[in-house]
């Protein structure tokens, strides 16, 4: 059985990916310091899969403690690297913490991959690397634009660091550019657990619907779009998870066409913020109290994916539409304690 190290394994996308890996015959070791996740996620993964994974609480910015993972598990065959700070607004206020954490943890992992002969590296990247694209939908060949935040810059730099190492031939890698991951596992045992007040749209919607937040704001309805609100490509977290397993298998079976592949992970459908709210109201039968507020700094007007490459080369099949995204997100929110 192939052993995979998943960093940030107790996080939102990491935990859903671990479930998919376990369900497809992989053995998984996790590293997560619980700075933005909860130990109970390990129990939830066990409830879903019947398997209990080992988690290291090492801080990946510390090379010595991180090396201990590889010494204990010298048979790691691949790494999926999720662990990173990821709050766009926070990164603007704390750039050094973001560069320090996100880049030194990546560099440590890559250094240890080379040292221990781990050849397959999957990196959690983001559509944020495209900035405000000149046209939509975006394909993987679109150029990176000026990052709107230090968070986005760490993703762009992370991709470049990986590509520079790949060209030495010491590892091969796949960069997965997520659009907007939303929703929860159909068991409603895993989902998004924002710590503190949520910033992303769907957790704000569900916390407003359940009454934790009194009302929500729509940041701008004066954009040049069909209804004036921003356009995004919402993608179910389980579909994102599935793509990680497929990408890893492609690397491990040497089916990748180039040493460093890049894939967009989006549905290819652009949905406006107001349409997302309407979709939620239809699914939940809850009228959302929202008001139109000024535009949010750093927001991209419109972006959605051309996802043909992932569908054709990974055999990726998207299983969840916007209704399933909103339905699972809503059921998950209702399963949580009603405290903010």
Binder to ligand WQD among 55, 61, 126, 154 (CB under 6 A)?
Answer: 126
Least gap, CB of 286 to ligand WQD (angstroms):
16
Told to check if 230 binds ligand WQD by CB under 6 A, we report yes
Told to check if 243 binds ligand WQD by CB under 6 A, we report no
Nearer to ligand WQD, 76 or 205 (CB): 205
| Residue 152, φ and ψ in degrees, nearest 5 | -65, -35
Element (H, E) at 72: helix 63-72
Binder to ligand WQD among 67, 296, 309, 311 (CB under 6 A)?
Answer: 296
Contacts (CB under 6 A) with ligand WQD, residues 172-201: 178, 180, 199-201
- The DSSP result for 67-116, as a single string, is HHHHHH-TTEEEEEE--S---HHHHHH-HHHHHHHHHHHHHHHHHHHHHT
Binder to ligand WQD among 216, 269, 283, 322 (CB under 6 A)?
Answer: 216
Query: Which residue in 224, 304, 234 sits closest to 276, CA to CA?
Result: 234
Told to check if 100 binds ligand WQD by CB under 6 A, we report no
DSSP letter at 189? S
Told to check if 87 binds ligand WQD by CB under 6 A, we report no
Looking only at the bridges linking them, the beta strands covering 216-219 and 260-265 are unpaired
Told to check if 86 binds ligand WQD by CB under 6 A, we report yes
Told to check if 235 binds ligand WQD by CB under 6 A, we report no
Counting Cα atoms < 13 Å in the Cβ hemisphere of 212 gives 17
| Structure token digits, residue 326 | 């909103």
Binding mask 265-294 for ligand WQD (x = CB under 6 A): --------x---------------------
Among residues 12, 151, 178, 304, which one is catalytic? 151
Q: Choose one: 213-221, 243-251, 261-269, 313-321; the region binding ligand WQD (CB under 6 A).
A: 213-221
Binder to ligand WQD among 219, 228, 278, 281 (CB under 6 A)?
Answer: 219
Judge contact between 307 and 240, C-beta under 8 A. no
| Structure token digits, residue 311 | 């569908």
Separation CA 125–CA 1 (nearest Å): 27
CA torsion sign for 316, 317, 319, 321 is positive
Nearer to ligand WQD, 28 or 148 (CB): 148
Binding mask 138-177 for ligand WQD (x = CB under 6 A): ----------------------------------------
What angle separates helix 12-23 from helix 40-49, to the nearest 10 degrees? 30
Separation CA 224–CA 179 (nearest Å): 20
Residue 11 Cα to chain centre, angstroms: 9
Least gap, CB of 203 to ligand WQD (angstroms):
8
Nearer to ligand WQD, 11 or 78 (CB): 11
Judge contact between 102 and 158, C-beta under 8 A. yes
Least gap, CB of 73 to ligand WQD (angstroms):
27
Judge contact between 295 and 148, C-beta under 8 A. no
DSSP letter at 305? B
Told to check if 244 binds ligand WQD by CB under 6 A, we report no
Active site residue 304: no
| Structure token digits, residue 167 | 């060209």
Q: Choose one: 20-28, 211-219, 307-315, 331-339; the region binding ligand WQD (CB under 6 A).
A: 211-219
Told to check if 108 binds ligand WQD by CB under 6 A, we report no
Told to check if 204 binds ligand WQD by CB under 6 A, we report yes
In 3-state terms, what secondary structure has residue 196? Answer: coil
User: Annotated catalytic sites, by residue?
Assistant: 151
Q: Which residue ranges make up the site for ligand WQD (CB under 6 A)?
A: 86, 88, 126, 128, 178, 180, 199-201, 204, 216-219, 230, 232, 273, 296, 299
């Amino acid at each position: 059985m192939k052993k995979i190290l998943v960093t940030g394994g107790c996080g939102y996308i990491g935990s859903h990916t671990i479930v998919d890996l376990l369900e497809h015959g992989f053995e998984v070791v996790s590293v997560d310091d619980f700075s933005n996740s909860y130990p109970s996620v390990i129990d939830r993964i066990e409830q879903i899969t019947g398997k209990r994974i080992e988690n290291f609480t090492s801080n990946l910015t510390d090379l010595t403690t991180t090396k201990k993972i590889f010494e204990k598990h010298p048979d790691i065959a691949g790494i999926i690297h999720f662990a990173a700070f990821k709050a766009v607004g926070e990164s603007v206020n704390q750039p050094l913490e973001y560069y320090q954490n996100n880049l030194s943890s990546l560099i440590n992992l890559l250094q240890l991959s080379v040292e221990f002969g781990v050849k397959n590296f999957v990196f959690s990247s983001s559509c944020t690397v495209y900035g405000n694209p000149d046209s939509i939908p975006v394909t993987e060949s679109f150029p990176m634009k000026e990052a709107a935040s230090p968070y986005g810059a760490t993703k762009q730099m992370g991709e470049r660091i990986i590509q520079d190492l790949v060209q030495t031939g010491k590892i091969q890698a796949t960069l997965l550019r997520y659009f907007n991951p939303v929703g929860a596992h159909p068991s409603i045992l895993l989902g998004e657990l924002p710590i503190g007040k949520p910033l992303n749209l769907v957790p704000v919607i569900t916390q407003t619907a359940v009454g934790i937040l009194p009302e929500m704001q729509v940041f701008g309805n004066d954009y040049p779009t069909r209804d004036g609100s921003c356009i995004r490509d919402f993608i179910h977290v389980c579909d994102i998870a599935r793509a990680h397993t497929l990408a890893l298998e492609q690397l491990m079976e040497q089916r990748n066409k180039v040493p460093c592949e890049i894939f967009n992970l989006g549905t290819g459908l652009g949905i406006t913020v107001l349409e997302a709210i309407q979709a939620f109201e239809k699914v939940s039968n809850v009228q959302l109290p929202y008001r139109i507020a000024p535009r949010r700094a750093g927001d991209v007007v419109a972006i959605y994916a051309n996802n043909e490459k992932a569908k054709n080369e990974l055999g990726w099949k998207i299983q969840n539409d916007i209704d399933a995204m909103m339905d699972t997100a809503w059921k998950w929110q209702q399963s949580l304690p009603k405290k903010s």
